[in-house]
A and B are shown apart, each in its own frame.
Chain A
C-alpha cells in the first residue's frame, strides 16, 4: 500500500529537482566537455556532447538555465537583428523554420562559429555554458508544443507573445517556406 504513493512521488521529485535546481557553477571539465560537439561536414546537425545528456539536458529542461538564456538574448543584443524573435534584418527565430537545422547542435554551432550573411561568431563573447543556455532558450522560443520548463515572459520585449504562452506558433503567421 505504501509503495504506491512512494512510486508516484519519486518521478515527481526527480522532475522537480531537475526543473528547479539552480546550478550556478559548472565544473570546468564539464564546461569544456560541453564544447565538444561533433558537427556534420556541412556545418548543420551533429552529435551533442555526451555530457549534456548525462546531466539530464539542463539547458532544455531547467527553468533557471532557460531564464539565463533569455537574459543573454537581451544582453548580447540578439534583438538587434532578430527583434524579439520575429526577425528583422536577421531571420525569425520562432516560426519553426531554421535555415541551419532545428536541433541543439546546429543552433549551438551557429552561435559559436557564426553563419554567412551576417551572423557573427560569439566564440569570444560567450562561454560554452552561456551558448548552451542561449541555445536552450532559442529552442524554447520556437517551440511548437509546451515544454516541461519554459522561461517566463520578459518585462521589456513585448512584440511577440510571451514565451510562457507556448505554443507560440498559433499567434504568428506561418512562414511561407513551410
Chain B
C-alpha cells in the first residue's frame, strides 16, 4: 500500500521541487540539461523495474498454490520458474547495458571543451571561494570572491583548485559537481543557457563551516557581463562622505588590511576575500548574509557568533569605527 502511495507521491514532490535556485531538477545550462535528461531516463527505467519486481513479489505472496500437487507438476513449475528467472537475469543485463551506454554518451556530450571559452579560476578556501577572471591582457585580470558572473550563451571553463583542504564546486542548476583537490587541477566546462541567479555550495566536507560555504552564480547577458567586468577591473570607489573617509582609515589602519585587499587603498592582505567591490556583491560571509550596512556591521562586530570557527577574528572596534567601516564597505560597488 505504502509502496503504491510513495510511487504516486514521488512525482508530485519532485514537481514541487522544480523551482529551486540550487536544484538539479531545474537545469539552466547545457551540462545540467544533459544530466537532467539522463536523470529522468534512469529514474523512469528504474521505477518501472522496481514496480515490476514488487508486482511479481505481491503476486507470489497472494497466489494460493494447490495444497498438494503431484511430483511431476511441481517439477514442471520449477523448470518454468528457472526459465523465468533466467529471462529476468537476461533482461537485467540488457537494461544495465542500456543505461551504461546512455551514461557513456552523456559523458561525451558534457565534456566537450571549447576554445572560445571564458576561463575563470576558482580556488576553494576554508570557507569561501576566490574567483579569478583570466584574460590574455593583464589589464583585464581581476580577483573577486564568493560571486561568479557568467555571460549567457558563452562556453565557460572553470579551473578548480584548492588552497587548503578538499572542496567541491557544485552549481546544480548549471552542471554536476567537481572536486577541488590540493595538488591537482580540475576543470568544469558548460554553457549557461538561461539568465538568472543560482547558488553553488561546497559539496565535500571541509571542516567546521562546511555548511556555510556558498557562492552566487549570476548568469547575465553579454552586455551586462561586460559592464560588470569593467566595474570589477577598476579600483575601489573613492569615499565621499566624511564617514566613508573615516571608514577607509579604519580599514587601512586596523587589522582588516592584514587579510583583505581593497584595490586603490593601502589594504593589500591576501588571506581573506578581496573586498574591492564587496558592496556590489549580493552576499557577504560566503552566502550567509545579505550585503546591507546592518549585516556588514553585525558581521564585522562578531563574526564568530555568526559563523563559528571561521578565520575572521573579532577585531575590537569602537562603535564609531564600526559604523564608519561598514558604511564604507557597502559603498564599494
Contact = CB atoms under 8 A, between A and B. Distances in A.
Q: Do chains A and B touch in the complex (CB under 8 A)?
A: yes
B313 A28 contact: no
A24 B304 contact: yes
A98 interface: no
Nearest to A27: B314
Contact of A126 (B208, B253, B255, B305): B255
Interface in A144-163: none
B314 A28 contact: yes
B89 interface: no
A126 B258 contact: yes
A140 B211 CA distance: 32
A124 B253 contact: yes
Which of A75, A126, A130 has the most B CB atoms < 10 Å from its CB? A75
A178 interface: no
Interface in A1-48: 22, 24-26, 28, 31-32
Contact of B271 (A22, A32, A75, A127): A75
A24 B309 contact: yes
B255 A125 contact: yes
B255 A127 contact: yes
B96 interface: no
B308 A24 contact: yes
Contacts of A25: 302, 304-305, 308, 314
A125 B257 CA distance: 8
Nearest to A74: B271
Most chain B CB within a 10 A radius of its CB, from A26, A124, A126: A124
A129 B312 CA distance: 12
A20 B208 CA distance: 14
Given A75-B271, A76-B258, A125-B255, A32 B316 contact: yes
Interface in A130-176: 130
B313 A129 contact: yes
Contacts of A24: 208, 304, 308-309
Contact of A127 (B257, B302, B309, B316): B316
A31 B316 contact: yes
A127 B258 contact: no
Nearest to B270: A75
B254 A124 contact: yes
Nearest to B311: A71
B315 interface: yes
Nearest to A130: B313
Contacts of B253: 124
B316 A28 contact: yes
A25 B309 CA distance: 8
Contacts of A26: 304, 314
A31 B255 contact: no
A127 B315 contact: yes
Contacts of B316: 28, 31-32, 127
22 contacts: A24-B208, A24-B309, A25-B302, A25-B305, A25-B308, A25-B314, A26-B304, A26-B314, A31-B314, A31-B316, A75-B271, A76-B258, A124-B253, A124-B255, A125-B257, A125-B258, A126-B258, A126-B313, A127-B255, A127-B316, A129-B313, A129-B314
